[in-house]
Structure 1
């Protein structure tokens, strides 16, 4: 059964799920529909927006552990191979997750205490795009062994003017793994700028 979270809510991932060693973090979004004048009058069409999901592996102090521990379309796996990215989806079209990040919880090194999941809009400055042009954005966590959806967080806030989102985080607590629904918008325009928050 899926648990729907609200912003700021925390939930145990492993405590009530004995043996959970692998989770799939799915991120999804749809471009908003806009009315455009066509040859035969007004018609609705989707704006093409290229959103990119990334995972940032942090130490106990909330700092980036190693440069290669930013997992995104340009670096599809962490140094330790415990975090893997599904690859770039450039349109957000279609049903289901647009991008997925697999986390092998039992392989995450001891010096990694938190994995932060972020989404930014590629080339947002030149394209003049922001998250006000995105709808139905969410993050969800699935049990990696049976693809059962465990938790979901719908990002329902108005993120107009924001060019990136810190959507959620998985972190260690008392020997277990937990998840926090963050849902914080920012004006960072690239993954690199987001990463600087954690240097």
Structure 2
């Protein structure tokens, strides 16, 4: 049975699941009734961060246009343009055994494509979640439902995997940004 997290909670991932290396990070959301006449397109982004909390190389920013990290540890499985349907809207596969030793954290974000131009924000999004799944068994290990705490934000850092000595842990973050993907990138040391 999956561990359900609240904002700010941290939980062990690999210590309580010996031998676990290949996981899927599932990200999902629903769009509230929205009468803006424009489609909603949410995107998952992944930042492989060094000990300073920065992306050391642009290629360590994984998203639909750069679907694989240089070390091969993180793979974005594709862009969902509508978020329609049940279950995960976008997925990221992570092989913890392949993560470069220079990477301390793997941070997962969701942004709204062209949010400013379309007058869209996370106040119009509901049922957002992130979950960690054992790729081999399909078992959901961890789930974090973000709730409805957002209004004007156009990007959300949903959670992160981080090293704790030789083990990996998961942190449910749930922090919103008003300046979208550009704000996330700037905080993580990228120029966009």
Category of TM-score, reference length = shorter chain? over 0.9
Residue 188 of structure 2 corresponds to which residue in structure 1? 198
Residue 14 of structure 1 corresponds to which residue in structure 2? 14
Q: CA deviation at 1:92?
A: 0.6
Residue 75 of structure 1 corresponds to which residue in structure 2? 66
Q: CA deviation at 1:188?
A: 2.1
- The answer as to whether partners of 1:31 and 1:48 remain within 8 angstroms in 2 is no
Residue 147 of structure 2 corresponds to which residue in structure 1? 156
- The answer as to whether partners of 2:41 and 2:80 remain within 8 angstroms in 1 is yes
Greater strand fraction, Structure 1 or Structure 2:
1
- The answer as to whether partners of 2:3 and 2:143 remain within 8 angstroms in 1 is yes
- Could you list the runs of 5+ residues in structure 2 that have no partner in the other structure? none
**What secondary structure does 1:132 align onto?**
helix
- Could you list the runs of 5+ residues in structure 1 that have no partner in the other structure? 37-45
Q: CA deviation at 1:72?
A: 0.4
- The answer as to whether partners of 1:131 and 1:164 remain within 8 angstroms in 2 is yes
Residues 30/47 of structure 1: CA separation in 2 closer, same or farther (3 Å cut): farther
Residue 129 of structure 1 corresponds to which residue in structure 2? 120
Instruction: Tell me the TM-score normalised to structure 1 length.
Output: 0.91
Q: CA deviation at 1:47?
A: 7.0
Matches for 1:1-199 after TM superposition, within 5 Å: 1-34=1-34, 48-190=39-181, 192-199=182-189
**After superposition, what is the alpha-carbon deviation per residue over 1:139-177, rounded to whole angstroms, capped at 9, x for unaligned?**
000011111000100011321100000000000002100
- The answer as to whether partners of 2:132 and 2:142 remain within 8 angstroms in 1 is yes
- The answer as to whether partners of 1:31 and 1:47 remain within 8 angstroms in 2 is no
**After superposition, what is the alpha-carbon deviation per residue over 1:119-155, rounded to whole angstroms, capped at 9, x for unaligned?**
1000001100000110100000001111100010001
How many residue pairs were aligned?
A: 189
Q: CA deviation at 1:189?
A: 2.3
**What secondary structure does 1:193 align onto?**
helix
- The answer as to whether partners of 1:33 and 1:47 remain within 8 angstroms in 2 is no
Q: What CA RMSD, in Å, does the superposition of the two structures yield over aligned residues?
A: 1.5
Q: CA deviation at 1:187?
A: 1.0
CA distance in 2, matches of 1:189, 1:28: 18
Report the more deviating stretch, 1-10 or 62-71. Answer: 62-71
- The answer as to whether partners of 2:26 and 2:92 remain within 8 angstroms in 1 is yes
- The answer as to whether partners of 1:164 and 1:187 remain within 8 angstroms in 2 is yes
Instruction: Please say which structure displays the higher CA radius of gyration.
Output: 1
